[in-house]
Amino acid sequence: MLKTYPTTFLLPKRLNLVSLVGRRDPDFAGSQRSSLSTDASLPAQPDPRQPILLVSHQATMAQSQSNSPPSPRPKVAYFPLGYKEAAQQWWTCVSSRQAERNVLSYVPFIREATSEITSSQLQDLAKSDPFGQRIWRSSMVQLAGKNRALNELAIERVGEQADDTLVMLHGYGAGLGFFYKNFEPLSRAPGWKLYALDMLGYGNSTRPNFRIHAKDPKEKIAEAEGWFIDALEEWRKARNIDKFTLLGHSLGGYLAVSYALKYPGRLNKLILASPVGIPEDPWAVNAEMPEPGESTLENEFTQDQESIVKGEPAGANAAFVRASPADKKAAASQPDITTTPPKRPIPNWLVWLWDANVSPFSIVRLAGPLGPRFVSGWTSRRFNHLPPDEKEALHTYSYALFRQKGSGEYVLPYLLAPGAYARSPVINRIREVGRQVIQPATETTPAIRETGLPVVFLYGENDWMDVAGGYAAEEKLKQRSREVLLHGTVEEKRNENGSAKVVVVRKAGHHLYLDNPEEFNYIIRKEMEDTRQRTLKLKEMAKE
């Protein structure tokens, strides 16, 4: 029998783990809070393999089966993993490296390139791969400074020249393994090499101490963004990549925009998958850290993915999905539109975390043997549409990442206010994406500027991110291109390359790359093909 472990922890400021668990986990509230028992007499826990329905879904089902009014607050299994199972996972948890490899094992056809692999084995792999011979390599790319290195997954087509590069960035707290359903389909494209990166301080990249030295609020934002995007630029130089296509999800999308603005001339295309921080919220921009009133962020913790991928469009984003293009543009141009995701009161525990500058992953680390149980509250909802073995692998991978030393996760309060509203909204900066000075002017030559950049916004039809922000950003980018075509020089008009569009992925939520990977991969492949044709065209022009 396993030992018992204390479960009382000291937390910063007014955050108390016991009250937090009691608020979200009724079973734990009535149990002994001084120790964790692994005895079989513990109350039975719900099967984690079963879908967990939202409170609203459960109430609707109950009402349909009875004429009596629904109960005001049905019980929800927020943390479906049992105490005994959680303690066992905590005790026997594999390393984050091994957890990443376990997830990658579900990528079909592509095999790891090792020093032991022979030419005959490569030929055998090529015969078994219907889309050509493809291999992947995992590396740690060292950067300047102490304890700075990026975890990299590279996928290439053996024996083919790669003229184009796709770089994939994950969202807040995640890692490159979350893209496991995208690697194989996207690597089918000839002429491409794929890289997936763990951002500095996340995943299996190194985790240096995260510190902000600036005093001015705007300088704090710039320093926080630079902590990540400077590392990305160092990585680009280390890999000797001239230009690439950048795909960022959620926080990765926000930082992708920041990279495009700070390091011009390095991107062929920008793909933003459910990017955070697009719309402007005056409170988030101007206030230091007030108590927020409402937000859609709670959906990230409560939305049931099974209902997302199998249900019909829900919430106000569905109005955009069904509306005509003209109606979408008209709605996006109005600052007081009502066609936004349903806003809900921010839970007290999230306000406490933000106010204390404590990341959600701090709770996982402090919880010790209860850590896997806390993580199961998120993974059971986010991955319950996947096969059981894949869901288990992603749960283990998530916990293995969340339990590591805190680092990049502490960026959140510097870039976003509670509720995921940006302190420097992308909508106010998007016009200048693809319009920066590449080479400053001299006494004899004028400045060389970028001539526009294709930008693609992707959202799930059940996304808790505001798709209206994407349409508003699209309109600003198109307006910038129209200005060049109307008032630019002959050369500027000839070289104009700016474009923008919004694409909504069906049967998907915020994690659209995982909710509906088939449609997501198809869209990205089309964008890669478009970029590839432009690359080939430029190569032909260079020969002439």
Catalytic positions:
250, 463, 510
What SS3 class is residue 366?
Answer: helix
Q: How many CB atoms lie within 10 A of CB 133?
A: 20
- Both tokens of 150, joined, read 């990026």
Tell me how far apart the alpha carbons of residues 330 and 351 are, in angstroms, rounded to a whole number: 34
Q: Which long-range contacts (CB under 8 A, 24 or more apart) does 28-37 make?
A: 28/79, 33/7, 33/8, 34/6, 34/7, 34/8, 35/4, 35/5, 35/6, 35/7, 36/4, 36/5, 36/6, 36/7, 36/83, 36/87, 36/369, 36/370, 37/4, 37/83
Burial class from Cβ neighbours inside 10 Å (0-12, 13-18, 19+) for residue 343 reads middle
Pairing of strands 164-169, 192-197: parallel
Tell me how far apart the alpha carbons of residues 299 and 319 are, in angstroms, rounded to a whole number: 18
Tell me how far apart the alpha carbons of residues 388 and 375 are, in angstroms, rounded to a whole number: 16
- Residue 157 · residue 132 · CB < 8 Å: yes
Residue with tokens 């349909």: 64
Tell me how far apart the alpha carbons of residues 533 and 537 are, in angstroms, rounded to a whole number: 6
- Between the CA atoms of 266, 269, 274 and 277, what dihedral angle is there, to the nearest 10 degrees? 40
Tell me how far apart the alpha carbons of residues 347 and 293 are, in angstroms, rounded to a whole number: 10
Whole-number Cα distances in Å, 86 to 19, 45, 244: 19, 11, 42
What SS3 class is residue 49?
Answer: coil
> Hey, which residues does 83 pair with through a beta bridge?
none
Tell me how far apart the alpha carbons of residues 138 and 177 are, in angstroms, rounded to a whole number: 12
Tell me how far apart the alpha carbons of residues 183 and 110 are, in angstroms, rounded to a whole number: 9
- Residue 455 · residue 500 · CB < 8 Å: yes
- Residue 200 · residue 231 · CB < 8 Å: yes
Q: Which of 229, 231, 234, 274 is nearest to 256 (CA)?
A: 229
